[in-house]
Structure 1
């Protein structure tokens, strides 16, 4: 049977837990802001890089990109999947949703699959599904830590391409929705084919002046391609971190609501028990007075 002391301890514990949840909710909301700001700030840079590639295509009169078949047609097609997950707790179904989406998406793609995971938890979930992870990267804990991670992934991918014939590279991550929540998405990073070129042509040159490429043509193209790959990878990582904090914020909101309901229930029980104790004491006093009066 619960006593006033035990209920008071539960009330104090629930109050302390609520203060922790509110702090975590404020931290998650703050993190969402910085990651969303990082994504939006990439917009102008990505546009500048894309316009630079368009200027290169126009100067070199490249109007289509023809895909080249590998020298040995018997080589099995290799697909590299880079999956962004989370290593933090209290994120709900964040890792489960992206791992299930990876499994469904790769099931429809023919070829040998190689997984690069960002985060140990999503790696374990992919292993349970049946995918072996070739590379494991830590999840960045701030905006400043995204750049070293992206550079590391790009360097390792270049080293891998020199050793193994990789035909396609896909990025899997969670992306925030316009209103609330997040959704898993897939984006093909490589190869840069005709479909990719056509997507760039949707951008219109901002002036009537004919663009010109200054400097060496090949070094300029390589720099622009590297900037494009870096921006795409950075954006995917920032959106994944924003989704992670959005999931944590939603979890903290649910937890805060549950704690409020628990506090109301405990407070009601405490007041009821306290009132019962007061009634018993008054009954004893009245009974004693009546006995003495007789």
Structure 2
């Protein structure tokens, strides 16, 4: 009986410690979601400025030859897949890997894959895809910028690369997420025309000064930077949302387990007390029935 009570005490203590860890991870995930979502919102104004500047360049007929080349036959296509470095995220890496495989199946010619996160790298490898590069995920908003520049540098080193795609999980309302893909290069014709037709917000019309080709390429690089930054931030927000949901499920299961263990402990403890009382009563009755001379 005492061994069973000791075992239950150990199980209750372990469950309580695990509950504390889960609550801490839950709080960290909830706070991380906010900072990454805020970083995405803060990009809106800068992204709008880059689009306005690109629209001006697209309206310049002389700048048309400076546009990046369209996808060529037998040219390589690159895809950057954002996942996670850590676990406890549910189906986060599985879903983005499945979506990446579907995207790769639609691409013609050679494909180069970069994985952002060790977990998604392992999923891609298990699926028969060998990534040409692996990037570690940033642990804060400030660390996203070096990662983005690193991705751009590695992609620009591939001279045969004519197309660039992103594949990542995008957060949804509540705690959900959905895998999405985005083509960054070659630039979408409809998107270019839409930017070129956009009216300038003030009466002071802009003019491209200097080398139009250099200006356009610099703006396209900024567009790539903002797009990759936003994809990374949204992926991190979705990762923490998935972890938050997983921790909430774990916390609920631990609460149920603790309730069961505590119930078993109290019942077993009560049985032990009842047995001790029964022994005392039995001994008292035995003594009461014994004649005085034999006591």
Note whether the superposition's TM-score is higher than 0.5: yes
Shift of 1:59: 4.8
Deviation at 1:221, TM superposition (A): 1.8
Deviations 1:22-71 (A, max 9, x none): 0111011111111111111001110011011112233558799999668x
Alignment-derived partner of residue 39 in structure 2:
38
Alignment correspondent of 2:49? 48
Say yes or no: does 1:195 pair with 2:190. Answer: yes
Aligned-pair RMSD on alpha carbons?
2.3
* Shift in Å, 1:126: 1.1
Q: Which of 126, 134, 144 does residue 124 from structure 2 map onto?
A: 126
Mapping of residues 126-275 of structure 1, within 5 Å = 126-161=124-159, 164=160, 166-201=161-196, 203-275=198-270
CA distance in 2, matches of 1:59, 1:3: 82
Structure 1's 191 and 109: CA in aligned 2 closer, same or farther, altered over 3 A?
same
Kept in 2, the 8 Å contact 1:77–1:167? The answer is yes
| TM-score, structure 1 as length reference | 0.90
Give the TM-score taking structure 2 as reference length: 0.90
Is contact 2:117-2:135 (8 Å) kept? yes
Displacement, 1:8?
A: 1.1
1:93-132 matched pairs, under 5 angstroms? 93-132=91-130
> Which residue of the partner structure matches residue 11 of structure 2?
10
**Kept in 1: contact 2:66–2:216 (CA 8 A):** no
Corresponding residue SS for 1:246: helix
Q: For residue 292 of structure 2, what is the aligned residue in structure 1?
A: none
Q: Secondary structure at the match of 1:171?
A: strand
CA distance in 2 between counterparts of 1:223 and 1:241 reads 27
Higher mean displacement: 53-62 or 282-291: 53-62
Q: Size of the alignment, in residue pairs?
A: 288
Q: Distance in 2 between matches of 1:202 and 1:265?
A: 66
Contact 1:67–1:193, Cα closer than 8 Å, also in 2 = no
Moved more, 56-65 or 121-130: 56-65
Q: Deviations over 1:219-258 (max 9, x none)?
A: 3222211111100010011111111111111111111001
Q: Separation in 2 of the partners of 1:191 and 1:63?
A: 13
Question: What is the rounded CA distance, in whole Å, between the counterparts of 1:173 and 1:79 in structure 2?
Answer: 17
Q: Find the structure with the greater CA-based Rg.
A: 2
Matched residue, 1:29: 30
| Aligned mates of 1:36, 1:193 — CA distance in 2 | 26
Range with greater deviation from structure 2 (53-62 or 133-142): 53-62
* SS of structure 1 residue aligned to 2:208: coil
5+ long unaligned stretches in structure 2: 290-295
List alignment gaps of at least 5 residues for structure 1.
none
Identify if the C-alpha distance between structure 1 residues 204 and 8 changes in structure 2 by more than 3 Å, giving closer, same or farther: farther
